[in-house]
Amino acid sequence: MVVSMSEQRSTADDVGRSRFSGATSRRSFLKIGAVVGVTGLAGCSQSSGGEQSQQAQAGVSGETLTLTTTTSTYDTGLLDAIHPDFEEMYGVTVDAVAQGTGAALESARNGDSDVVMVHARGLEDEFMRNGYGINRRDLMFNDFVIVGPESDPAGIQGMGSATDALTTIAEAEAAFVSRGDNSGTHTKELNLWEAAGTDPGGDWYQETGTGMGEALNVANQQGAYTLSDRGTFISQRSEIDLTILVQGPIEGGPEILANPYGIMAVNPGVHDNANYDLAMAYIGWITSPGAQNAISEYTMNEEQLFFPEAVSEDPDFQQYVPEGWSSNSSDE
Amino acid sequence: MSLEPALLSPAVVDLPFREGYVRSIIYVSLYVSGIAVALSTLFSIPVAIVMGFTDFPGKQFVKSVINTGMGFPSVVVGLLVLFVVSNQGPLGSLELIFTKEAMIISQFVLATPPITAISLAAISGVSENVRDAARALGGTRLDVALVVIKEARYGIATAILAGFGRAISEVGSVLIVGGNITSASGISQTRTLTTAIQLEARQGQYDTAMVLGAVLLALVLTVNAVVVRFGDEGSVNR
């Protein structure tokens, strides 16, 4: 790239004397291209390490499964911990895209993912009723907790009712941080306000429009209350000063704070490019005793984050259909 | 990259990163932005030359469109590219969503206006005398163009730097169309330095985010230094 510059004497003033050596001029032009080229090549030379090391096997091997899921499963690190098992078993790659539950379902609606793992039963049911999702399974659960600063300005500590706690926060006009992103947690929070018969608003109620981790950070900075899934809270507890003020059902709190996760394949009848075979293989694997065991063994700060519920002796037909659906319903 | 742990830079060994994580993120950032800027340059320079050398009706309008493009918000570009590459969109059959290629498309859209506009300004700034002299000496149109490019090379280098800076530092569009994906083994597929910083900040891991931010800064400084050095070399024998 080091070009001899002996011929490049020309300046604006003496350009008249310079020869029109096309080669020289072109070289200066190439230099600029070279800079960009080097930048690109620097990257290329280290590419293609692990990506395609396993294409030898037949079948689904070498394919990529796109999973859209929620920030609360992704940010806890659970998926990274359990996915290698699936990837090795089938010789495939799982691309996990962390979005809010609403966005995860929307990506699947557009045919941009093959399988969705979310936690908002109402939205999941709508997704199934519209024909986009099939083969839904209950996957695992944890619960929501209401967290806030230790000083607890509204005085909700130990309340047995989540709705009473929210009403108390609203009456005290204590700062409350809402996800505001149409995620599963946000949906749950809105349902709770509705159940409490309170319409949140005013300066004390702040929508961040961000993931759970970020919302916890904002609440932490502002000494505010927020609703969090237990998993994300535990995985982040060492970084923040918030504490659990109202427990969920795992620690004996109200059932309304339960947080069940479901998994669905994208309907190949709607999106024929959906990787249905691999999506079903994934659902089969993650609901298997082995993977369910791995989920229950995943801990953060020595606490279990998720409780598997796919493996059961008893039949649970409601997991396959929208809630309350019955084969006798006339409208189905 | 996971196959060559021995090459992992000692500087990042004691950080809370998995093996190869940072390297793969740097690679994705450079790969995506490098290719996007290269393509932008190949597109922008000829456009700037044509616009700098000819007059046509509506030229001012085209100029103002390009200038507006310089301020186009990256999330909006990401959204538009998402609609195009989504499986429901016109390019859906190519299955580009959540790939590096989709990220290259959106960064191309982002980097092209600044590269075109700044190159055009540089080319327009070359004195008429230079062009006239070149023509008077019997230069062909190509010769004249090459002389002008040579005269305008600092401006063009600045243009490419501006485009690269815009591409590698933007977070909105690559997050939307790329999906911020790493494989389970911690090797980035579509995670760039910017989206990684966003993720770490979301998780409250500000120290990790700061390290990645420092890496990004160092990267941009290095690229700038390399380009500036090229510019200096050009002037050594003046």
3-state helix, strand, coil in chain B (%, to 5): 75, 0, 25
- Kindly tell me if the per-residue pLDDT of A67 is higher than 70: yes
Report d(CA B2, CA B45) in Å as an integer: 39
Task: Find how far residue B15's CA is from the centre of its chain.
Answer: 29
On chain A, the residues whose CB falls within 8 A of the CB of B139 are: 20
Last residue of a domain, one of A220, A240, A257: A257
Other beta carbons within 10 angstroms of residue A172's beta carbon come to 15
Lowest mean pLDDT, pick from A1-5, A170-174, A250-254: A1-5
Q: Would A79 be classed as within a structural domain?
A: yes
Q: Would A125 be classed as within a structural domain?
A: yes
Reported as half-sphere exposure (CB side, CA atoms, 13 A), residue A269 has a value of 7
Q: What is the pTM of this model?
A: 0.76
Beta bridge partners of A93: A64
Q: Chain B contact for A48, CB < 8 A?
A: no
Q: Would A39 be classed as within a structural domain?
A: no
Secondary structure (3-state) at A275: coil
Q: Would A49 be classed as within a structural domain?
A: no
Report d(CA A108, CA A289) in Å as an integer: 27
Structure tokens at A311: 């493996």
pLDDT digits (tens, 9 = 90+) for B108-167: 999 999 999 999 999 998 888 888 888 888 888 888 888 888 889 889 999 999 999 999
- Examine the domain organization and report whether A242 and A266 are in the same domain: no
- Examine the domain organization and report whether A89 and A181 are in the same domain: no
- Examine the domain organization and report whether A180 and A308 are in the same domain: no
- Examine the domain organization and report whether A266 and A133 are in the same domain: yes
Q: How many domains are there within chain A?
A: 2
- Examine the domain organization and report whether A240 and A308 are in the same domain: no
pLDDT tier at A330, thresholds 50, 70, 90 = low
Last residue of a domain, one of A257, A272, A289: A257
Beta bridge partners of A226: A147, A177
Rounded mean pLDDT, A208-226: 89
3-state helix, strand, coil in chain A (%, to 5): 40, 20, 40
On chain B, the residues whose CB falls within 8 A of the CB of A16 are: 133, 136-137
Report the pLDDT value the prediction gives residue A180, as an integer from 0 to 100.
87
Task: List, as ranges, residues 254-273 from A with C-beta within 8 Å of B.
Answer: 271, 273
On chain B, the residues whose CB falls within 8 A of the CB of A11 are: 238
Q: Would A20 be classed as within a structural domain?
A: no
Q: What is the dihedral of CA A119, A70, B208, A302, to 10 degrees?
A: 30
ipTM: 0.74
Q: Would A9 be classed as within a structural domain?
A: no
- The alpha carbon of residue A110 is apart from the nearest alpha carbon of chain B, in Å, by 6
On chain B, the residues whose CB falls within 8 A of the CB of A37 are: 38
Ordered domains of chain B (ranges, CATH): 31-186 (1.10.3720.10)
Indicate the residue of A39, A93, A216 with minimum beta-carbon distance to B30.
Answer: A39
- Kindly tell me if the per-residue pLDDT of A47 is higher than 80: no
On chain B, the residues whose CB falls within 8 A of the CB of A181 are: none
- Examine the domain organization and report whether A297 and A251 are in the same domain: no
Report the pLDDT value the prediction gives residue A44, as an integer from 0 to 100.
39
Indicate the residue of A5, A39, A84 with minimum beta-carbon distance to B185.
Answer: A84
Which residue, among B153, B183, B178, has the nearest Cα to A91 in the 3D structure? B183
- Contact across the interface for B157 and A35, Cβ inside 8 Å: yes
| CATH number where A266 lies | 3.40.190.10
Report d(CA B145, CA A111) in Å as an integer: 48
| Distance (Å) of CA B58 to CA A21, A272, B13, B51, B97 | 35, 45, 57, 11, 36
Percent of chain A beyond pLDDT 70? 81
- Examine the domain organization and report whether A239 and A101 are in the same domain: no
Let me know how long chain A is: 332
| Distance (Å) of CA A167 to CA A148, A156, B176 | 15, 10, 36
- Examine the domain organization and report whether A101 and A237 are in the same domain: no
Last residue of a domain, one of A220, A236, A257: A257
Structure tokens at B86: 């989504």
**Mean pLDDT, chain A, whole residue set:** 83
Instruction: Provide DSSP, A158-221.
Output: T-S-HHHHHHHHHHHT--EEE--SS-HHHHHHHHHHHHHT----STTEEE--S-HHHHHHHHHH
Rounded mean pLDDT, A16-38: 41
- The alpha carbon of residue B207 is apart from the nearest alpha carbon of chain A, in Å, by 11
Report d(CA B56, CA B98) in Å as an integer: 40
Q: Would A3 be classed as within a structural domain?
A: no
The amino acid that residue A42 corresponds to is A
**Residue A177 · residue A215 · CB < 8 Å:** yes
- Examine the domain organization and report whether A160 and A249 are in the same domain: yes
- Examine the domain organization and report whether A161 and A233 are in the same domain: yes
Report angle CA A140, A143, A144 to the nearest 5 degrees. Answer: 140
CB burial of A44-67 (b: ≥16 within 10 Å; e: otherwise) equals eebeebbeeeeeeeeeeebbbbbb
Rounded mean pLDDT, B180-192: 87
- Kindly tell me if the per-residue pLDDT of A318 is higher than 60: yes
Handedness of CA B31, B36, B39, B40 (dihedral sign): negative
Q: Would A152 be classed as within a structural domain?
A: yes
pLDDT tier at B13, thresholds 50, 70, 90 = very low
Report d(CA A128, CA A332) in Å as an integer: 12
Which position has the higher pLDDT, B53 or B115?
B115
- Examine the domain organization and report whether A268 and A138 are in the same domain: yes
Rounded mean pLDDT, B217-238: 75
**Mean pLDDT, chain B, whole residue set:** 86
Give the H/E segment covering residue A96. strand A93-99
Reported as half-sphere exposure (CB side, CA atoms, 13 A), residue B35 has a value of 15
Indicate the residue of B204, B226, B238 with minimum beta-carbon distance to A216.
Answer: B204
Structure tokens at B123: 């080319």
Q: What is the dihedral of CA B153, B155, B160, B161, to 10 degrees?
A: 120
Containing structural domain, residue A301: 64-142+260-320
- The alpha carbon of residue A61 is apart from the nearest alpha carbon of chain B, in Å, by 15
- Examine the domain organization and report whether A218 and A85 are in the same domain: no
On chain B, the residues whose CB falls within 8 A of the CB of A286 are: none
